[in-house]
Amino acid sequence: MTTAEEREFDDLLLLLKETRGFDFTGYKRNTLIRRIARRLEALKLHDYGEYRDLLELQPDEFTRLFDSLLINVTGFFRDSAAWQRLRETVVPALLEQKSSGQPIRIWSAGCATGEETYTMAMVLAEDLGIDGFRDRVKIYGTDLDEKALQVARAGVYTDRTLSDVPVDLRETYFEPVENGFAFRRDLRRQLIFGRNDLTHDAPISRVDLLLARNTLMYFNTEMQLNIIRRFHFALSDLGFLFLGKAEMLLNHSDKFEPVDLRMRLFRKLTTTVHGNRAPWAAAPAPADLASRLPTLAAVALTSGPVAQIVVDVPGNLALANSKAETLFNLNPRDIGRPFQDLEVSYRPVELRSVIERARHDLRPIELRDVAWHRVGMVESGVFDVSVIPLLASGNLVGIGIHFHDVTRYRKLRDDLELANRQLEQAYEELQSLNEELETTNEELQSTNEELETTNEELQSTNEELETMNEELQSTNDELQHINDALTTRTMELDEVNRFVSSLVRSLGDAVVVLDEELRVLVWSPGAEELWGVRAEEAMGFSLAALDIGLPLEKLAPRLRTTLADGSGPQDETQKLVLDAVNRRGRPTALAVQLSHLRAEDDTVQGLIMVMDIVESE
């Protein structure tokens, strides 16, 4: 997308936010572009600017756009294996941690038309019993699409929608109504549906189980992090989170632990504060400490795990502990030598200028990630170097240099970064494989959420192929309704055509129906017999263009006069007798009757001409 197109696209999103209150900036951009492109293609528009102008002129298009952007595809017991695992593990654990009679709160986020919300109600009602469900359970279903929420509130579903509900549950929890089957009214009071924007609105709090199945995948990474934090806040301690098969919590191990990773079942983690630490040993008396301090200081400096060097004020090496001697090949003879003459002053890093700066500023200087490739070593060492002015009674007495060996930590960090990259690469490859399996007409995406977004958009094409795109399912349903309507109209039209054809064939006389331009609309079998011209040769042509033995020079003015005089609703049939020549070339006297062809509003749309041979006496 070019920069100009991006600006137009951003302006379009801003229009949706300012005029309708829908903020799509947190949604995946590629998904929005693909969905809006379908509307542009359907309307035969070329760019977002034209579409923005159309929205301002035709507000009804907003509804069709939102129906396209807010993909509302769901189903009862969707991913039945995951629901079975929920019943076997999560529900028993949830009931176990709740005392008898304690309320149970469930939140179904992104509930669409409510099928999964009612599925959760049936699962809990089976375990708690009808009375227990009514007394203890509250289920909150939320979504951004108010139109879908109206369907969820009604709780009425077709026989086709309920096909995945087991027969025993269907008979127990649904009642037949005029338009399908309705969820039991006495239990439906425990379900509350309302609008909630996961990106802005406050979450429902203190919930024991949160369902957000195939909802996170529509948002970009930053927005997903915000929503996950909201979900963590909404759940009570040890509450459960149930996600869709496309969604993972790989970067949120500090907030959730997996109950069943394959089925996307997680449990909230709470921060634990550890106490009762063992107390420190009693501090030595000040007199003892003073007497032991020189010995302790010498031992501590010599045995310290960090290489330490002290340079006195004149710039000579004053101290070096065992770690420093081993690391930099120092020996006791180097003590007192000018520091600048030693290799350590410039290797692994130039220290002379740093020491001078620390001496001048009287403040510590830190050098991070200093690499040092020593002779005979396969790998380079990495050090953090601290240059610290040593002060006594406010006066500078020397410079302390500490070499912290961070090679292991740097290697661990590099290994972690490599592992993260490999994990991200493996994760993206997994998403790509999933995309290839679930859809045949969408390009490969780089993240699992983007892959599953495309999968959801394609899922609805065929119920038997659950990997297809969600948006195609609703389109398929709409086309089915249109097809049913067209089939009905076609059958009615065929019936009318058969009736008209039967009526025309039943007339023994030659019957011709003309429009206002005197073109042939109907040419009966009697007319074929009389004039020797087949119906397909006559229909659609002007009467004057037909090569028949009808004296049109006399008939044509009468036809036009009859058309012009057809203003009255009850005009009588006009008759005239003409001398004609039939298809065999024989003179024939014809009695021609002219009647008006009228529409429902009584306007004249043509003429009906009946021709009958007058028998000679």
pLDDT tens-place string over residues 309-350: 888 888 888 888 887 887 777 887 888 888 888 888 887 888
Q: Where are the alpha helices (DSSP H) in 446-587?
A: 448-458, 470-506, 525-531, 535-538, 552-564
Indicate the residue among 350, 383, 405 that finishes a domain. Answer: 405
C-alpha–C-alpha distance, residues 513 and 539, integer Å: 9
Looking up residue 178, the CATH number of its domain turns out to be 3.40.50.150
Single-letter amino acid, residue 94: L
181 touches 174 (CB < 8 A):
yes
What letter does residue 205 receive in the DSSP assignment? P
Listed in sequence order, the residues at least 6 apart from 86 whose beta carbon sits closer than 8 Å to its beta carbon are 123, 242, 263, 265
- Averaged pLDDT score across all residues of the chain: 80
Across the strands, what pairs with 105?
A: 138
Tell me the pLDDT tens digit for each residue of 249-284: 766 777 888 888 888 899 998 755 444 443 434 444
C-alpha–C-alpha distance, residues 464 and 75, integer Å: 13
- 225 and 366 share a domain? no
Indicate the residue among 376, 405, 434 that finishes a domain. Answer: 405
Listed in sequence order, the residues at least 6 apart from 306 whose beta carbon sits closer than 8 Å to its beta carbon are 323, 402, 403, 404, 405
- 112 and 249 share a domain? yes
Give mean pLDDT, residues 464-478: 62
Query: Is the predicted pLDDT of residue 238 greater than 90, yes or no?
Result: no
Question: Would 71 be classed as within a structural domain?
Answer: no
Question: Would 67 be classed as within a structural domain?
Answer: no
- 396 and 413 share a domain? no
| C-beta atoms surrounding 466 within 10 Å | 14
C-alpha–C-alpha distance, residues 496 and 514, integer Å: 19
Looking up residue 56, the CATH number of its domain turns out to be 1.10.155.10
Which structure tokens are listed for 294?
Answer: 């020189």
- 135 and 264 share a domain? yes
Query: Is the predicted pLDDT of residue 287 greater than 50, yes or no?
Result: no
Lowest mean pLDDT among 74-88, 348-362, 400-414, 469-483: 469-483
- 100 and 249 share a domain? yes
Listed in sequence order, the residues at least 6 apart from 533 whose beta carbon sits closer than 8 Å to its beta carbon are 523, 527, 546, 547, 548, 583
Res. 375 pLDDT band, cuts 50 70 90: low
Tell me the pLDDT tens digit for each residue of 495-520: 877 777 676 666 657 888 888 888 98
Residue 398 parent element (H or E): strand 395-405
Tell me the pLDDT tens digit for each residue of 23-38: 788 888 888 888 888 8
C-alpha–C-alpha distance, residues 328 and 346, integer Å: 11
Single pTM value for the model: 0.48
Question: Would 70 be classed as within a structural domain?
Answer: no
212 touches 109 (CB < 8 A):
yes
User: Given this model, what pLDDT does residue 298 score?
Assistant: 60
Question: Would 317 be classed as within a structural domain?
Answer: yes
User: Given this model, what pLDDT does residue 277 score?
Assistant: 41
User: Given this model, what pLDDT does residue 281 score?
Assistant: 41
For 595, phi then psi, to 5°, come to -130, 155
- 126 and 155 share a domain? yes
Question: Would 181 be classed as within a structural domain?
Answer: yes
What letter does residue 542 receive in the DSSP assignment? B
Give mean pLDDT, residues 564-575: 60
What letter does residue 157 receive in the DSSP assignment? E
Which structure tokens are listed for 195?
Answer: 């609008």
Based on DSSP, count helices (H) and strands (E) in the chain, helices before strands: 20, 22
Assign 42 to helix, strand or coil: helix
Structural domain that includes position 490: 406-503
Across the strands, what pairs with 310?
A: 319, 400
User: Given this model, what pLDDT does residue 378 score?
Assistant: 56
| Strand order across the beta sheet in which 191-195 lies | 191-195, 137-143, 104-109, 207-212, 235-243, 265-268, 256-260
Looking up residue 526, the CATH number of its domain turns out to be 3.30.450.20
- 379 and 526 share a domain? no
Highest mean pLDDT among 27-41, 98-112, 318-332, 558-572: 98-112
Question: Would 318 be classed as within a structural domain?
Answer: yes
Indicate the residue among 62, 88, 105 that finishes a domain. Answer: 62
Tell me the pLDDT tens digit for each residue of 413-459: 888 888 888 888 888 888 778 767 766 665 555 555 565 555 555 55
- 142 and 240 share a domain? yes
- 400 and 412 share a domain? no
Highest mean pLDDT among 75-84, 247-256, 532-541, 579-588: 75-84
Give mean pLDDT, residues 44-64: 82
Question: Would 68 be classed as within a structural domain?
Answer: no
User: Given this model, what pLDDT does residue 568 score?
Assistant: 45
User: Given this model, what pLDDT does residue 440 score?
Assistant: 63
Q: Select the more confidently predicted residue: 83 or 19.
A: 83
Q: Select the more confidently predicted residue: 465 or 520.
A: 520
- 490 and 571 share a domain? no
Highest mean pLDDT among 41-50, 155-164, 362-371: 155-164
Query: Is the predicted pLDDT of residue 286 greater than 60, yes or no?
Result: no
Which structure tokens are listed for 144?
Answer: 């951004």
Assign 96 to helix, strand or coil: helix
Give mean pLDDT, residues 566-594: 75
C-alpha–C-alpha distance, residues 463 and 446, integer Å: 27
- 19 and 106 share a domain? no
Give mean pLDDT, residues 138-163: 91
Provide the number of structural domains found in the chain: 5
Burial (CB count within 10 angstroms: exposed 0-12, middle 13-18, buried 19+), residue 375: exposed
Lowest mean pLDDT among 180-184, 211-215, 423-427, 433-437: 433-437
- 261 and 319 share a domain? no
Please state, in angstroms and as integers, the Cα–Cα distance from residue 209 to each residue in 106, 140, 203, 232, 260, following that order: 5, 11, 13, 11, 15
Question: Would 262 be classed as within a structural domain?
Answer: yes
